[in-house]
């Protein structure tokens, strides 16, 4: 890449895109500054470099920019983020400008915001149990370090509250350094406040960096916010050796912005107008989670996304689910019944659960315990559906028992409220619920496991 050069005037300004003619030596991803008398300076980046028309994506509000007067400077550099331990406790904008009346962060290093893919052979398979204190997660959809486990929410459901509770309660091992990176992507100030306030009283506060792009901020910046946050998270995890939990909310906003930019460039739209490369783009965020050989830290992601119309087949949750290692799905029905956290465990899944459970990590019988709870609850839910048609009297005896079980399960195991439960407490609640069923209904539990359950006759 060559040195700084400035062009006067743009050929066209369309939405957040500027078109510049003959921008010699423009490079893909090159950082651009746009200046105009009487206007605040703006930043942008090259998304289509050409010896003809070069396309620049403007990251800030473009109102007032005049094609004839704007001066466009190509800086010769690609986007880099200041990263470091000193950023902990700071509140920054979506592109790492200070929002907390402190000077701009300098950090310990500058890192390319785009990151680089981890070499798959250098990845360590994640397998360290994270006790979140939430039964539906710890017991049935176990989270491990280095995993990416999104929360699929619906409008008005308490996804951020759940995330805040997890951040507050998640425990790293004794003396292990941990940190939280929070990326707000187009959420409201009220939502941000909710999260920040939950954290204020907790020890996690001083170990958190906030990257805030709220709904009132420039939308294009949303494409950069998670990347600034992840560059910082990667530094904390893999250079500073910390266990980092990244909370990103809301991925649906990010995807809408992606669609907006694609439409502005007249790209061929994919499903529901989202660009065909959205899978790849989302993967470039989510795949930055992981753990590496010979490095002590870990990067765990908890992205939050709102399913439009609670539709899990919508492209945003659908593509996310194909990339992430499972999902935690919130249920409007449970929320309506006052169950907190309102997690529907049937569509929820943690793909890395098996690596994080077992004798040395949680409990020796954890797998079969969870399988049986799932099987009995699924049967109960099926029976509930059937009962709406044929009535409870029309059910077989085992189905009637499963029906009762499902109600108890939702109330007692899922609906724990805001209290924290250890994994031991979670397992105990599960056994108590299973004990209400006759042995013959528990097909996923073998005799040896059954004999070892708590409270079994010796």
Partner 1 sequence: MTTATVTRVTGTLAEARPLREAGLYELVRVGARGLLGEIIRFKDEIATLQIYEDTTGLAVGAPVIATGAPLTVTLGPGLLGAMLDGVGRPLARLAAASGDFIAPGASAPTLDPARRWAFTATAALGAAVRGGDVLGTVEEQPGFVHRVLVPPGVEGALAALASGDYTVDEPIGRLADGTALTLAQRWPLRRPRPVAERLPADRPVVTGQRVFDLLFPLAEGGAVAVPGGFGTGKTVIEHGLARHADADVVVFVGCGERGNEIAEVVQEFPRLIDPKNGRPVMERTVLVVNTSNMPVVAREASVYLGVTIAEYYRDQGYRVAVMVDSLSRWAEALRDIAARLQEMPGEEGYPTHLASRLGQLYERAGRATAAGAPTRTGAVSLVCAVSPPGGDFSEPVTQASLRVAGGMWALDASLARKRQFPAVDWALSYSLYTDATAAWFADAAGLDWAAVRTRVLALLQRDAELREIAGLLGHEALQDRDRVVIDVARMLHEHLLGQSAYDPIDAACPVAKTGRMAALAVAALDAALAAVERGATIDELELPALRRAYVALRAAPPDAIAARAADVERAIAALEVRR
> Do the Cβ atoms of 400 and 390 come closer than 8 Å?
no
CB neighbour burial string for 35-50, b if at least 16 within 10 angstroms, e if fewer: ebeeeeebbbbbbebe
CA dist list (Å): 391 to 286, 394, 402, 403, 450: 45, 5, 14, 12, 33
For residues 207 and 453, which CB has a smaller minimum distance to partner 1 in the complex?
453
> Do the Cβ atoms of 300 and 143 come closer than 8 Å?
yes
The one among 279, 310, 332, 404 contacting partner 1 by CB under 8 A: 279
Q: How far is the CB of 117 from partner 1 (least distance, A)?
A: 5
For residues 368 and 420, which CB has a smaller minimum distance to partner 1 in the complex?
368
Kindly state whether residue 239 participates in binding partner 1, applying the rule CB under 8 A: no
Kindly state whether residue 25 participates in binding partner 1, applying the rule CB under 8 A: yes
Residues 436-455 that bind partner 1 (CB under 8 A): 440, 443, 446
The one among 374, 411, 412, 449 contacting partner 1 by CB under 8 A: 374
**Candidate segments 22-30, 35-43, 82-90, 92-100, binder of partner 1 by CB under 8 A:** 22-30
**C-alpha 166 chain-centroid distance:** 12
For residues 20 and 92, which CB has a smaller minimum distance to partner 1 in the complex?
20
The one among 116, 174, 201, 457 contacting partner 1 by CB under 8 A: 116
**C-alpha 381 chain-centroid distance:** 28
Kindly state whether residue 305 participates in binding partner 1, applying the rule CB under 8 A: no
For residues 187 and 261, which CB has a smaller minimum distance to partner 1 in the complex?
261
**Closest Cα to residue 141, out of 419, 412, 367?**
367
For residues 89 and 112, which CB has a smaller minimum distance to partner 1 in the complex?
112
Kindly state whether residue 396 participates in binding partner 1, applying the rule CB under 8 A: yes
Q: How far apart are CA 341 and CA 255, in angstroms?
A: 26
Q: How far is the CB of 192 from partner 1 (least distance, A)?
A: 28
First-to-last C-alpha distance (Å) of the chain = 74
The one among 13, 49, 172, 215 contacting partner 1 by CB under 8 A: 49
The one among 276, 338, 424, 454 contacting partner 1 by CB under 8 A: 276
Q: How far apart are CA 355 and CA 390, in angstroms?
A: 42
CA dist list (Å): 409 to 138, 168, 217, 377: 15, 25, 43, 7
Kindly state whether residue 386 participates in binding partner 1, applying the rule CB under 8 A: yes
DSSP structure string for 193-236: HHHHHHHHTSGGGGGEEEEEEETTS-SGGGGTHHHHHHHHHHII
The one among 139, 321, 415, 430 contacting partner 1 by CB under 8 A: 321
**Candidate segments 56-64, 122-130, 172-180, 332-340, binder of partner 1 by CB under 8 A:** 122-130
For residues 175 and 438, which CB has a smaller minimum distance to partner 1 in the complex?
438
Two tokens at 47?
């998304």
Q: What is the chain's alpha carbon radius of gyration, rounded to the nearest angstrom?
A: 25
**Closest Cα to residue 416, out of 199, 50, 140?**
140
Two tokens at 438?
């006759």
The one among 71, 375, 428, 437 contacting partner 1 by CB under 8 A: 375
Residues 343-362 that bind partner 1 (CB under 8 A): 346-347, 349, 351-352, 354-355
Kindly state whether residue 322 participates in binding partner 1, applying the rule CB under 8 A: yes
Q: How far is the CB of 61 from partner 1 (least distance, A)?
A: 25
Kindly state whether residue 52 participates in binding partner 1, applying the rule CB under 8 A: yes
Q: What SS3 class is residue 144?
A: strand
What does the per-residue mask of binding to partner 1 show for 73-102, with x meaning CB under 8 A? -----x------------------------
Kindly state whether residue 393 participates in binding partner 1, applying the rule CB under 8 A: yes
Beta bridge pairs of residue 91: 210
**Candidate segments 35-43, 152-160, 222-230, 384-392, binder of partner 1 by CB under 8 A:** 384-392
Kindly state whether residue 417 participates in binding partner 1, applying the rule CB under 8 A: no
The one among 36, 39, 50, 404 contacting partner 1 by CB under 8 A: 50
Q: How far apart are CA 418 and CA 133, in angstroms?
A: 9
CA dist list (Å): 10 to 61, 99, 220: 16, 31, 19
Residues 252-271 that bind partner 1 (CB under 8 A): 267-271
Kindly state whether residue 395 participates in binding partner 1, applying the rule CB under 8 A: yes
For residues 160 and 307, which CB has a smaller minimum distance to partner 1 in the complex?
307
> Do the Cβ atoms of 74 and 23 come closer than 8 Å?
yes
Q: How far is the CB of 43 from partner 1 (least distance, A)?
A: 16
The one among 27, 215, 263, 437 contacting partner 1 by CB under 8 A: 27
Residues 186-215 that bind partner 1 (CB under 8 A): none
CA dist list (Å): 427 to 77, 364, 421: 53, 11, 10
The one among 147, 192, 257, 416 contacting partner 1 by CB under 8 A: 147
Q: How far apart are CA 205 and CA 410, in angstroms?
A: 32
The two beta strands, 109-112 and 80-83, are antiparallel
């Amino acid at each position: 890449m060559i040195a700084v050069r400035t062009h006067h005037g743009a050929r066209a300004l369309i939405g957040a895109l500027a078109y510049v003619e003959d921008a010699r030596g423009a490079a893909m991803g090159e950082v651009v500054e746009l200046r105009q008398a009487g206007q605040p300076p703006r930043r942008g980046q090259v998304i289509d470099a050409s010896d003809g028309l070069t396309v620049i994506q403007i990251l800030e509000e473009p109102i007032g920019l005049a094609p004839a007067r704007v001066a466009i400077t190509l800086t010769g550099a690609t986007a880099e983020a200041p990263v470091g331990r000193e950023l902990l406790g700071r509140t920054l904008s979506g592109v790492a400008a200070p929002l907390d009346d402190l000077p701009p962060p300098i950090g310990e290093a500058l890192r390319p915001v785009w990151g680089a893919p981890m070499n798959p052979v250098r990845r360590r398979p994640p397998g360290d149990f994270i006790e979140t204190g939430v039964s539906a997660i710890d017991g049935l959809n176990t989270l491990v370090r280095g995993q990416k486990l999104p929360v699929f929410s619906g409008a008005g459901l308490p996804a951020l509250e759940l995330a805040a509770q997890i951040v507050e309660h998640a425990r790293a091992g004794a003396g292990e350094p941990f940190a939280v990176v929070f990326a707000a992507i187009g959420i409201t100030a009220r939502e941000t406040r909710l999260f920040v306030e939950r954290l204020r009283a907790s020890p996690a506060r001083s170990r958190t960096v906030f990257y805030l792009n709220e709904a009132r901020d420039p939308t294009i910046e949303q494409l950069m916010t998670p990347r600034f946050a992840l560059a910082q998270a990667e530094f904390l995890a893999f250079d500073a050796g910390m266990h980092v939990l990244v909370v990103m909310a809301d991925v649906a906003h990010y995807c809408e912005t992606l669609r907006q930019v694609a439409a502005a460039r007249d790209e061929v739209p994919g499903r529901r107008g989202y660009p065909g490369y959205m899978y790849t783009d989302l993967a470039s965020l989510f795949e930055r989670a992981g753990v590496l050989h010979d490095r002590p830290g870990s990067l765990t992601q908890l992205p939050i996304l709102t399913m439009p119309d609670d539709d899990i087949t919508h492209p945003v949750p659908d593509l996310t689910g194909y990339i992430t290692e499972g999902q935690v799905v919130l249920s409007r029905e449970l929320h309506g019944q006052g169950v907190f956290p309102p997690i529907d465990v049937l569509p929820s899944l943690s793909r890395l659960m098996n690596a994080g459970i077992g004798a040395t990590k949680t409990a020796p019988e954890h797998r079969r315990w969870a399988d049986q709870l799932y099987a009995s609850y699924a049967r109960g839910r099926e029976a509930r559906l059937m009962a709406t048609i044929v009535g409870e009297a029309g059910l077989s005896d085992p189905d009637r028992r499963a029906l009762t079980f499902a109600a108890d399960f939702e109330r007692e195991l899922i609906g724990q409220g805001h209290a924290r439960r250890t994994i031991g407490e979670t397992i105990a609640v599960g056994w108590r619920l299973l004990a209400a069923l006759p042995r013959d209904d528990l097909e996923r539990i073998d005799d040896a496991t059954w004999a070892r359950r708590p409270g079994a006759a010796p």
